[in-house]
Amino acid sequence: MGISTKQSLRILMIGDVMGLPGRMLFQKHSQHLRQKYKADAVILNGENSDSRGRGITPRIMHFFKHNGADLVTSGNHIWGNNQIYEYLTQNSDLLRPANFPGACPGTGVTTISINGITIGVVNLQGRIFMREQLACPFATAESILTYLRDKTKIILVDFHAEASSEKIGMGYFLDGKVSAVVGTHTHVQTADERILPQGTAFISDLGMVGALNSMIGMKKETVLPHFITQMPSRFIVDDQAPFMLCGVIIEIDTQTGKAISIERIRLIDDDLVVQE
């Protein structure tokens, strides 16, 4: 393959896809969004994409790839469906957080070729307010960068974390070392997208793909009783319109690996009807 002369890459990064509604919304709009934003690659977070809103399956991975996703990242719900364990072992197009123990299936870092250009993608999970006791994501990031620096200058990081302070900290920690740090996990899109001082694109949270009038993708009728009574409640993915698809489009200089721009995307769909 010849050396690419393309001066920049445009990467569409999409937030947590929630259940069947999220999958259908991605299928409906992925090609249009790729064309509208002239995206060279599409990366999404799929850890909530099964019908329960927790986990992902090999069938869903094939669905995402068929509908234009180049890579899928995840987070703390990656283990929600054990059908995915073997897939993680055999494939690198689905990442789990790199700071999970090495004995876990899968990997948290990979490289993909886009238009003849190698890009690195890293998946990390935060520790503040998270249940899992994981290795330090900052130390893990430094170790991974030692591995990636010889392979590419274009590196994207999905930091799946609860606390905005931890996400912002990771952004500044990696500023100038990677092309972008995007947060996932809270499902609420933030309005702080920017280029950090040393050239790294950043947003605290990409948001989600799911029902607009839900509680982070779940039916409010199933979530509110838990807050009020503190009793267990079975959360159910909300399948009622309107729906929203949230993410960012990031343009990256292929020579320097620095971000040129980051633009927030929030698409509202009033017409989608969710059907199995």
Which tens digit of pLDDT belongs to each residue from 174-200?
999 999 999 999 999 999 999 999 999
Catalytic residue annotation:
77
DSSP 137-172: HHHHHHHHHHHHTTT-S-EEEEEE-S-HHHHHHHHH
- 113-124 b/e (C-beta count within 10 Å ≥ 16 → b): ebeebebbbbbb
In terms of Cα–Cα distance, which of 266, 119, 124 is closest to 193? 266
Position 6 confidence tier, pLDDT thresholds 50, 70, 90? confident
Whether the link from the prior residue into 242 is cis, omega within 30° of 0, is yes
Token couple for 186: 């809270």
Identify the pLDDT of residue 276.
73
> Residue for token digits 């280029």?
195
Give me the chain's average pLDDT, please.
96
Token couple for 80: 């929600």
Which residue has better confidence, 109 or 4?
109
Identify the pLDDT of residue 2.
46
224 vs 133: CA distance, rounded Å: 28
Tell me the C-alpha to C-alpha distance, in Å, between residue 20 and each of 131, 141, 247, 250: 26, 32, 18, 27
Which tens digit of pLDDT belongs to each residue from 218-250?
999 999 999 999 999 999 999 999 999 999 999
Answer yes or no: are the C-beta atoms of 175 and 200 closer than 8 Å.
yes
Answer yes or no: are the C-beta atoms of 125 and 167 closer than 8 Å.
no
192 vs 59: CA distance, rounded Å: 35
Q: Which CATH class is domain 10-269?
A: alpha beta
Position 63 confidence tier, pLDDT thresholds 50, 70, 90? very high
pLDDT at residue 4 above 70? no
Token couple for 38: 């002239």
Amino acid present at 189:
Q
Claim: this prediction has a pTM higher than 0.85: yes
